Chain A
Amino acid sequence: MIKRVGSFFKGFFSIFTKRKNIRLGVYGPPNAGKSSLSNRISKDWIGEEMSAVSHIPHETREIIVKEKITVKSKGKELSFNLVDTPGIATKIDYEDFLKFKMSAKSAKERAKEATKGVIEAIKWLDNMDCVLVVLDSTQNPYSQVNITIIGNLAARNIPVMIVANKTDLKKSDVKRIESAFPQYPTVGISVEKGKNMEEFYEQLFKLLKK
């Protein structure tokens, strides 16, 4: 009986402790705009950026955490720790980096670090309370990496919001992403142009409350 009462209180208080330290993960394939979005969120709410951004794939090769970001919506506020993760890929070839005028030594080093980053990103899936899956809306959403990420989050019952980035580009097709993953809320934005960020924050607030 005492054990039962103890576990009841433990469960009751865990609601509050979990809410105090929500971990919001930012996942997706390389070059979808995960770090750009993380920077934008961090800059909008605490005034500082958190990750380096580059047009060369696999710029983020380590997990980066920004603690205690508080977002406000309609008079209410919620705090979370933002976790920017390396892009998940099924292949990494150092020769791809040579196209960006990188030395062979740097390219090999980057590839090695990128493989470790992918492993870390997958390991961290277990630590997330909710996740933003950032996809490039100009690309085919049916890639296996996207399906694997979302499938893993579903298997762990982690609430998900899909962010269809790069809506400022001509080839952008948010509806295609919506039809690929109809069970999840999808918001089309352009981080670079700051397009539709208000709706994004409204949806983010709903996600954090889940």
Chain B
Amino acid sequence: MLTLQYIPYHEFSNLGIDEKLRRILKSVREDKIILIEGRLAPTEESELIKRTMQQIDKKFKGIEIASVDYELKNATLGDTIKRNIAHMLLRKRPGITIVGPATIVKEIRKDPRKIELLTMEKKRR
């Protein structure tokens, strides 16, 4: 059974990097796929990779991660500026981030605005 955990933006926005990453890795190590509203900063992503590497062992093989930014289709320059100012004021990084355990999520295929998540096939006995 797959467990999908959704983390809304307001739950994560005020957390420090340590707490954010601790919560992500804790959930992933419990074999949950997490869907976070918003994107992590590049430095948070690289720190997540570092901490993932530190935790790899016999059972935990790492993570699959993808984030996507949604932009308004056919948005005018004015719309884009308004959107960026709004996000800047709210200190929000728009988009979504998916993180899952590598033992369950085989691959996350990504195009600029689309994410496909492929899970492992169960081994037949």
Contact = CB atoms under 8 A, between A and B. Distances in A.
Given A119-B53, A144-B65, A155-B43, A91 B110 contact: no
A180 B110 CA distance: 11
Interface string B95-125: 0000000100000111110000000000000
Interface of chain A, main secondary structure: helix
A142 B46 contact: no
A90 B109 contact: no
B29 to A, nearest CB: 13
A155 B43 CA distance: 8
Interface in A95-133: 111, 115-116, 118-119, 122-123, 125
A140 interface: yes
B66 interface: yes
Contacts of A67: none
B54 interface: yes
Interface string B68-89: 0000000000000000000000
Contact of B63 (A91, A115, A119): A91
A127 to B, nearest CB: 14
Contacts of A152: 42-43, 45-46
A7 interface: no
Contacts of A198: none
A127 B29 CA distance: 32
Interface in A64-92: 88-92
Nearest to B111: A142
Contacts of A125: 46
Contacts of B64: 90-91
Contacts of A144: 45, 65-67, 108, 110
B35 interface: no
A147 B63 CA distance: 15
Interface in B21-58: 41-43, 45-46, 49-50, 52-54, 56
Given A140-B109, A152-B43, A91 B102 contact: yes
A148 B56 contact: no
Interface of B: 41-43, 45-46, 49-50, 52-54, 56, 61-67, 102, 108-112
27 contacts: A90-B52, A90-B62, A90-B63, A90-B64, A91-B52, A91-B62, A92-B61, A93-B62, A93-B102, A118-B50, A118-B53, A122-B49, A140-B109, A142-B110, A142-B111, A143-B110, A144-B65, A144-B66, A144-B67, A144-B108, A147-B45, A148-B46, A151-B45, A152-B43, A152-B46, A155-B43, A180-B112
Interface of A: 88-93, 111, 115-116, 118-119, 122-123, 125, 140, 142-145, 147-148, 151-152, 154-155, 180
